[in-house]
Amino acid sequence: MENKLILLIEDNPDDVALTLRALKKNNLGNQIVVAGDGVEALDYLFGTGAHLGRDTSVQPEVILLDLKLPKLDGFAVLRSLRSDRRTKLLPVVIMTSSKEQQDLIDGYGLGANSYVRKPVDFERFVEAVRQLGMYWLVLNERPPTAPSN
Partner 1 sequence: MDPTDAKASHVTAGGASETARSGTHLAPSAEINALSRARFWNRFLWVGFVAAIVAAAIIGWNTYRDVRDSDDWSKWIVHTQVVLQSLDRAQADAFSIVTALPSFSRGGDLRPAKLTIPVTKMWHEIAALRALTRDNPAQQKRLDQADRTLRRVAELTGAVIHNAPTTHQQQLSRSASLTQLGDALVPFRDNLAAMSLMEQRLLTERTAEARMTSRQSVVVMGVGGSIILAWLLLIGGYASLTSSRLRQTSQALVASREELARSAAREKAEERVRALLETAPDAMVIVDRDGRIVLVNAQTEKLFGHARAEMLGNLVEMLIPARFHGQHPLHRSGYFANPRVRVLGPGLELYGLRKDGSEFPIELSLSPLQTEDGLLASSTVRDITERKRAEAEMRSLNEAERRHAARLEAVNQELEAFSYSVSHDLRAPLRSIDGFSLALMEDYADQLDVEGKEHLRRIRAATQRMALLIDDLLKLSRISRGEMSHEVVDLSAIARGIVGELQEGEPERSVECVVPDGIEAHGDSHLLRAALENLLGNAWKFTSKQPHAIIELGVLQRDGQPLYFVRDNGAGFDMAYADKLFGAFQRLHSTAEFPGTGVGLATVQRVVLRHGGRISAEGTTGKGATFSFTLHESLGVSNGE
Provide the binding-site residues for partner 1, judged by CB under 8 A. Answer: 12, 14-15, 18, 21, 67-68, 96-101, 118-123, 125
User: Nearest Cα to 142, choosing from 98, 68, 92, 80?
Assistant: 92
Q: What is the DSSP letter of 148?
A: P
- Of 46 and 115, nearer to partner 1 (C-beta) is 115
Please state the length of the chain: 149
User: Toward partner 1, which CB reaches closer, 85 or 124?
Assistant: 124
Q: Give min distance, CB of 96 to partner 1, in A.
A: 7
Residue 124 CB, nearest approach to partner 1 (Å): 9
- Residue ranges in the chain assigned as alpha helix (H): 13-25, 38-46, 74-82, 101-109, 122-133
Identity of the residue, 123 or 141, whose beta carbon is nearer to partner 1 in the bound complex:
123
